[in-house]
């Protein structure tokens, strides 16, 4: 079963705007990761945040993690048309290496 739920399911923005998406999960985790998937392609790993971290940055990406609320957010700043993709969060449960994926957010960045 899917542990992570993401919102919004779809997001449409203009180039240059910021895009924010959220992920919630149900059980304790070791790490939370965000992935990007272009249509019909494999996954691209974006960023990993550990359960003892609260915020992490990578280029135009900013990820936050609130373990008390069991939620995470991914912010893409100054979006570009090339950021158009689906974004998934995935949790790594404390008991092992299995990843459980959220439902995903489809982001459309209009030029």
CB of 64 to another protein, least distance (A): 19
Among 20, 67, 101, 108, binds another protein (CB under 8 A): 101
Tell me 78's DSSP state: S
CB of 24 to another protein, least distance (A): 14
The three-state secondary structure class of 15 is coil
Among 20, 22, 24, 31, binds another protein (CB under 8 A): 31
What residues contact residue 61 under an 8 Å CB cut-off, 6+ apart? 34, 46, 47, 74, 75, 76, 77
Asked if 74 contacts 89 with a C-beta cutoff of 8 angstroms, the reply is yes
- H/E element holding 27? none
Q: Does 67 bind another protein (CB under 8 A)?
A: no
CB of 40 to another protein, least distance (A): 7
Q: Does 99 bind another protein (CB under 8 A)?
A: yes
d(C-alpha 27, C-alpha 8), whole Å? 21
| Site residues, another protein (CB under 8 A) | 2, 30-31, 35, 40-43, 45, 48, 50, 88, 92, 97-104, 106
């Amino acid at each position: 079963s899917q542990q992570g739920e993401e919102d919004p399911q779809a997001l449409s923005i203009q180039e240059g705007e910021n895009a924010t998406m959220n992920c919630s999960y149900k059980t304790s985790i070791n790490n939370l990761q965000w992935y990007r998937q272009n249509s019909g392609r494999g996954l691209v790993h974006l960023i990993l945040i550990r359960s003892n971290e609260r915020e992490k940055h990578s280029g135009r990406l900013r990820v936050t993690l609130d373990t008390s609320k069991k939620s995470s957010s991914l912010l893409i700043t100054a979006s570009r048309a090339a950021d158009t993709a689906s974004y998934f969060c995935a949790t790594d449960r404390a008991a092992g290496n299995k990843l459980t994926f959220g439902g995903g957010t489809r982001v459309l960045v209009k030029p």
